[in-house]
Amino acid sequence: MRQKYDDLTFTTTVTAKNMHLYLTRQLSDFNITPEQWSVLNVIQQKQPLTQKELAQLVLKDTPTVNRIIDVLVRKELVSNETDPLDRRKAFINLTSKGEEETTQLRTVVEETCSTLFSHIQASDLQIWQQIMKQINKNIL
């Protein structure tokens, strides 16, 4: 019985790493990491956001998101503007360059996912997603 779980966890870990590596390679022309992409994607969908809201939406801790935001500000893809009513709060938005690049990145990510999930039935992907959600529910 233990061998079955070893194989499942090993295969899951290797597959997750390989998927991440493949996406990393696909995004490399844009000099964007998958983590930066996830932040840009959420900002585009939900802006303006505070760093705390963004951290919750991308399921990362606030210091990690702050570091990603700093990098994206240096790349001129996002702006980080202090709330004039509460100086402790800052709102994150995409710049016009960030909007354009995020739209281009979305195409790359969609093509990447299309390749990753090719030759897999939609119903199988739904089952896989349900299984992953249940595993997360079991451990969180």
Q: Rounded distance, CA 69 to CA 52, Å?
A: 12
Using pLDDT thresholds of 50, 70 and 90, give the confidence band for residue 1. low
Range of the domain at 103: 1-138
Which of 3-12, 91-100, 102-111 has the lowest average pLDDT?
3-12
For the cut 90, the answer to whether the pLDDT of residue 140 exceeds it is: no
Buried b (16+ CB within 10 A) or exposed e, 103-135: eebeebbeebeeeeeeeeeeeeeeeeeeeeeee
CB 24 within 8 A of CB 116: no
Rama region for 31: left / alpha / beta (φ>0; ψ in -120 to 50; rest):
left
Q: What percent of the chain stands above pLDDT 90? A: 83
CATH of residue 97's domain is: 1.10.10.10
pLDDT (0 to 100) of residue 122: 95
For the beta carbon of residue 42, count every other beta carbon within 10 angstroms: 19
Backbone angles phi, psi at 121, to 5 degrees: -65, 145
Number of domains in the chain: 1
Predicted structure pTM score: 0.86
Stated length of the chain: 140
